Amino acid sequence: MTVPQHVAIIMDGNGRWAKLRGRPRIYGHVRGSSQVRPIVRECGRLGVKFLTLYCFSAENWGRPSGEVSILMRLLEKYLVRERRTLMENNVRLTAIGDISSLPQHALSALRETMAITSKNTGLTLTFAVSYGSRQEIIEAVRTLAQEVRSGVLHPGQINEEVFHKRLFTKTMPDPDLIIRTSGEMRLSNFLLWQSAYSELYFTEKLWPEFTITELHGAFEEFTRRKRRFGLTEDQSQPKAPEVNIVL
């Protein structure tokens, strides 16, 4: 089995999972948050270097204020509760998005957990929080425009590498595999620039149902894909490491 270097997951379907069981949406969010730990642990065990989770989009601020408030409390509780587990598994936590828009209690918990885990050298776990890819791209363009205007940068110097360095994800490679749960087949403003050559994997499973077995299935499908990056099949391609799953 080929293990992707960078896996990104759109964790969708918490509300629908709860509705199917006659429970309020927040029940689905609570259950969904409990699925993060085993997926993070298994990705680290298999040798994934970067795992990016779409936790809360820029558009999610438009949801009912009560739901948003509870989601922020859940985020805070997760960050505090998981510190010991992250440290035990050598996981470094980072975040992308407009995190300054988070309520202070959630922002403080996020910054504290990032600081506590900053020296870890294993899996880099990135939370996309208050994140929107279009907004990220616009911000990068603004930065470049300011640098050109101030004379720091010449327009002719702008290329993909220069642009990449102005993105939130400048310290990580582009995702090899993007997984979306719940049967929806779109990116929903997630890593639009970075996903140019990502393999996309869609599953009908709702996020609270996405188990380690489902993760293995996604990796097996990734192994069967032929990644050409615009080249011919005969031309050599970089290969991710292969591992045997030990259950």
Q: What confidence tens digit (pLDDT) does each residue in 129-180 have?
A: 999 999 999 999 999 999 999 999 999 999 999 999 999 999 999 999 999 9
Phi, psi for 240 (deg, rounded to 5): -75, 155
Which residue type does 96 have?
I
Tokens representing 198 are 């990502």
Tokens representing 89 are 């598994």
Predicted TM-score (pTM) of this structure: 0.92
Q: What confidence tens digit (pLDDT) does each residue in 25-77 have?
A: 999 999 999 999 999 999 999 999 999 999 999 999 999 999 999 999 999 99
The mean predicted confidence, pLDDT, of the chain is: 95
State yes or no: is 60 an active-site residue. yes
Instruction: Give dist(CA 108, CA 86) in Å, integer.
Output: 17
List the alpha helices (DSSP H) in 82-132.
Answer: 83-88, 104-117
Tokens representing 171 are 């310290």
State yes or no: is 159 an active-site residue. no
Instruction: Give dist(CA 43, CA 229) in Å, integer.
Output: 24
Among residues 14, 60, 90, 189, the one annotated as catalytic is 60
Instruction: Give dist(CA 18, CA 47) in Å, integer.
Output: 32
